[in-house]
Structures are given as structure tokens and as C-alpha cells.
Amino acid sequence: GENVEQHPSTLSVQEGDSAVIKCTYSDSASNYFPWYKQELGKRPQLIIDIRSNVGEKKDQRIAVTLNKTAKHFSLHITETQPEDSAVYFCAAKLSFGAGTTVTVRA
Amino acid sequence: NAGVTQTPKFRVLKTGQSMTLLCAQDMNHEYMYWYRQDPGMGLRLIHYSVGEGTTAKGEVPDGYNVSRLKKQNFLLGLESAAPSQTSVYFCASSGASGRAGYNEQFFGPGTRLTVL
């Protein structure tokens, strides 16, 4: 099966700075890599995803990069804002990372 | 559209009791999933279904059973609840994806279950 590791588990950034979360996966057959955001007490919601035929995807302040050779993918959030504070999960196939709690300091 | 809904939102059980969690989706999705979420452990897949009448085991299936008699519904059953099953349970659904792998999952609001 698939095994996904996510780092760091917590991340505190100053408002306006960038945040980077990295995930590694084990199954080279995995070809879909989503990122979900979960606010406190809410359900996870997709914020960005990437398929294995591209190396990078951007959507306004968020971007995801994929390195299939090294089997890792990363979430990049630029110009962080207080509303970016949440738990972020990566996934590969049906396995999720343990999550990263991001806190944006005003 | 309601999206994905879950019933009930909260439940407290005593050890050994049984219960069924209901998940319903109105997006005509082929795939449905049940996860449990525990602090520091992310979302762990319990069971999933790739179509009406089919189910498969996930990462942590022991102590749970599921049924998908109708395309829009996915039921999760606990036959004899244990304190270790205290968790938040999320149902999700996604469209079929074939060789492209999985698609975006749409999650329900969750059910908070406590087993005493």
C-alpha cells in the first residue's frame, strides 16, 4: 500500500512570510496528489491538487510542486494571511499525511 | 445541492453497543469512503466503495462493517463499540477516475463518536 509522510507537524510563520510543507510517498504508481485544508471543527476541503504529468501548479498564493523521481511533493503558501491558519493534509492514493498545523502570527 | 451529509453529528455509546452511521451524497459520485480522524494521526481510511454493491477494506477496517446498497448512500456499522473507536468519522465521495487515479474528495461534516 501507500505510505505518506508529512513534515513539519507544526509551522508558525509571520504574516506575509511564506510557508512550505513537504510530503513523501512510497508507491511509484501514485499519480494524484491533493492538498486539503481543515479549519478547526470543520471538514477537510481541497485547496490544490496535481497529477503526475506536471511538475508544478499554481493558484494565486498557493502552489504545489512534484518530484516523481524523488517521490515527494510540496505545498507552498506565499504572503501568508491569518485566514491561512489551519491544518493542512497531503495525500497520495487514499493515504493521508498526519497533517501540519499552520499558525500565522499577526 | 447538499453535497455530502452525515447522520448523526454526535453520538455517545457504551462499550458493546452497536450503531450505524449514515452518509449520503447527491453528486452522483461513484466512489465513497469512510475515514476516522484522531489527533496527530491525520485521516485513516476504514472502508471504501467504488460503486453500488461493492466495498473494500482500507487501512483500519477491524471492528467496522459497511454497505453500499444504493449509489448515494454508504453506511458504516459498529457491531460492538470499544473505547478505541472514539473518534471523529468523516465520510467522503469522489467521481470515478479510471486510470487517472483518484479525484478530489468531498467530505461530509463529520460525526463525533464517544465510546464510554
Are the Cβ atoms of A94 and B102 closer than 8 angstroms?
A: yes
Integer Cα distance of A5 and B54 in angstroms: 29
DSSP symbol at B89: E
What is the pLDDT at residue B100? 58
**What pLDDT, on the 0 to 100 scale, is given for residue A53?**
82
CB atoms A96 and B42 under 8 Å: yes
Q: What is the pLDDT of residue A54?
A: 84
Condensed to tens digits (0 to 9), the pLDDT of residues B17-37 reads 999 999 999 999 999 999 999
**Does pLDDT of A23 surpass 70?**
yes
DSSP state of B102: -
8 Å CB contact of A98 and B48: no
* Coil/strand/helix, residue A42: coil
Give the mean model confidence (pLDDT) for residues A28-52. 95
Residue B95 three-state SS: coil
Under the banding of pLDDT at 50, 70 and 90, the label for residue B99 is low
Q: Please tell me what DSSP assigns to residue B100.
A: G
Q: Phi/psi at A8 (nearest 5 deg)?
A: -80, 175
Query: What is the pLDDT confidence band of residue A58, given thresholds at 50, 70 and 90?
Result: very high
Q: Which of B42, B97, B102 sits opposite A97 (nearest CB)?
A: B42
pLDDT by residue (tens digit) across A81-93?
Answer: 999 999 999 999 8
- Looking at residues B62-76, what average pLDDT do you find? 97
For residue B98, give every residue at least 6 positions away whose Cβ sits within 8 Å of its Cβ, in sequence order, or none. Answer: none
Determine, for residues B104 and A31 on separate chains, whether the beta-carbon distance falls below 8 Å: no
Q: Which residues contact A87 (CB under 8 A, 6 or more apart)?
A: A37, A38, A39, A99, A100, A101, A102
Three-class SS of residue B43? strand
What's the mean per-residue pLDDT of chain A? 96
How far is B15 from B84, CA to CA, in rounded Å?
A: 10
State residue B62's pLDDT score: 97
φ, ψ of residue B98 in degrees (nearest 5):
55, -135
Q: For the residues B44-72, what does the mean pLDDT come to?
A: 96
Rounded-to-10 torsion of CA B5, B91, A28, A32: 10
Instruction: Give me the residue from A34, A46, A98 closest to B40, CB to CB.
Output: A98
* Mean pLDDT across chain B: 94
User: What average pLDDT does range B56-72 have in this prediction?
Assistant: 97
Beta strands in chain A (DSSP E): 4-7, 10-14, 19-25, 32-38, 45-51, 56-59, 62-67, 72-77, 86-92, 95-96, 100-105
For residue A52, pLDDT beyond 90: no
CA distance A102 to A82: 10
